[in-house]
Amino acid sequence: MTIHSTAIISEEVQLGKDVVVGPYTIIKGQAKIGAGTIIENGVTIGSDHGIVEIGEQNHIYAGAAIGGPPQDKKYNNDNTRLVIGDKNQIREFATLNIGTVPGGGTTNVGNGNLIMAYVHVGHDCFLGNNSVLANNCQLAGHVHIGNNVTVGGSCGISQFVKIGNFAFIAGFSAVNKDILPYCIAQGNYATVRAANKIGLERAGFTAAQVEAIYKAIRILSKGSDTIEARIARIIEECGRTAEIDNIIEFIRSSKRGLAI
């Protein structure tokens, strides 16, 4: 364990094996940081009331603020949480807030994510695994982002929006409705433009899987009949693969409406 002499760490904090804490970093309150995590200079982790749990082998860069109080008027010094998994990169001046009681009490970040500079992850958000949030993305409260998602720079995502697995959101988009899995979305406000064919191919999807996904997204985005009629057509024309079932489940669980 390496802790710089200028770092300030409260007695409650638990640090795992081989944690590195850089100059002028402050870690306070009920914070637990897993083995091998590197925390650079000028980072603030924790708050007087919340709980922060950070896993192993994360790298947190200069100026990040991790586990501060939610930006919500209803917050009343509640003992809510921010839980971060393993092997994430959290870049300069990113901000990640703890949850709120009405939102379930926990902000969750999974494993292997790249959260770039000046990104904000609001209270009660859920971020899955292996996703990229590019510079200056702003996530309002309660946003749900799946696995292997890429969000371009300077995107704004409204509260309660869901973004499905393997989606790609083009930079400078404003997202106010749910984004289908496996698609590319863009615009102000963002709508589905196409299947994320290149991203899927790079991720190892077969040609047959990509073709079925492409057809399903085209049926949804170009159809003029009801959503249920389009789902029936997808099942008839694309079959029932894991990917098609994921799309159908996502559609039926949408509460904000679909960006199609």
> And the tokens for 185?
């979305």
pTM to 2 decimals? 0.97
Residue 217 belongs to a domain: yes
- Residue that finishes a domain, picked among 111, 142, 173: 142
Judgement on whether residues 223 and 94 belong to the same structural domain of the protein: no
Judgement on whether residues 206 and 114 belong to the same structural domain of the protein: no
Residue 187 belongs to a domain: no
Judgement on whether residues 7 and 134 belong to the same structural domain of the protein: yes
Is residue 175 pLDDT above 90, yes or no? yes
Residue 61 belongs to a domain: yes
141, 156, 164, 199: the active-site residue: 141
Identify which of 155, 201, 198 has the alpha carbon closest to the alpha carbon of residue 179: 155
CB 79 within 8 A of CB 98: no
124, 128, 156, 178: the active-site residue: 124
Judgement on whether residues 103 and 214 belong to the same structural domain of the protein: no
Active site residue 123: yes
Residue 212 belongs to a domain: yes
- Residue that finishes a domain, picked among 115, 142, 169: 142
Judgement on whether residues 102 and 220 belong to the same structural domain of the protein: no
Domain that holds residue 227: 201-253
Q: What is the CATH number of the domain that holds 239?
A: 1.20.1180.10
Residue 152 belongs to a domain: no
pLDDT of residue 223: 83
> And the tokens for 13?
């904090």
Residue 185 belongs to a domain: no
- Region 1-19: mean pLDDT is 97
Judgement on whether residues 7 and 124 belong to the same structural domain of the protein: yes
Judgement on whether residues 138 and 205 belong to the same structural domain of the protein: no
- Residue that finishes a domain, picked among 142, 166, 182: 142
Residue 195 belongs to a domain: no
**Residues forming beta bridges with residue 30, ordered by sequence position:** 51
Identify which of 34, 54, 41 has the alpha carbon closest to the alpha carbon of residue 8: 41
Judgement on whether residues 90 and 6 belong to the same structural domain of the protein: yes
Judgement on whether residues 11 and 134 belong to the same structural domain of the protein: yes
Judgement on whether residues 6 and 88 belong to the same structural domain of the protein: yes
Q: How far is the C-alpha of 4 from the C-alpha of 25, rounded, in Å? A: 9
Question: How sure is the predictor about 45, in pLDDT bands with cuts at 50, 70 and 90?
Answer: very high
Number of domains in the chain: 2
The whole-chain average pLDDT of the chain stands at: 97
Judgement on whether residues 16 and 107 belong to the same structural domain of the protein: yes
Is residue 37 pLDDT above 90, yes or no? yes
| Residue given tokens 């991790």 in the structure block | 66
How crowded is the C-beta side of 229, counted as CA atoms within 13 Å? 6
Judgement on whether residues 30 and 130 belong to the same structural domain of the protein: yes
> And the tokens for 92?
């300069």
Active site residue 18: no
Is residue 224 pLDDT above 90, yes or no? no
Q: How far is the C-alpha of 35 from the C-alpha of 13, rounded, in Å? A: 13
pLDDT of residue 97: 98
Count of C-beta atoms within a 10 Å radius of residue 204 = 7
Percent pLDDT > 70 in the chain is 100
55, 63, 123, 152: the active-site residue: 123
Residue 260 belongs to a domain: no
Strand, coil or helix: 235: helix
Q: What is the CATH number of the domain that holds 80?
A: 2.160.10.10
Active site residue 141: yes
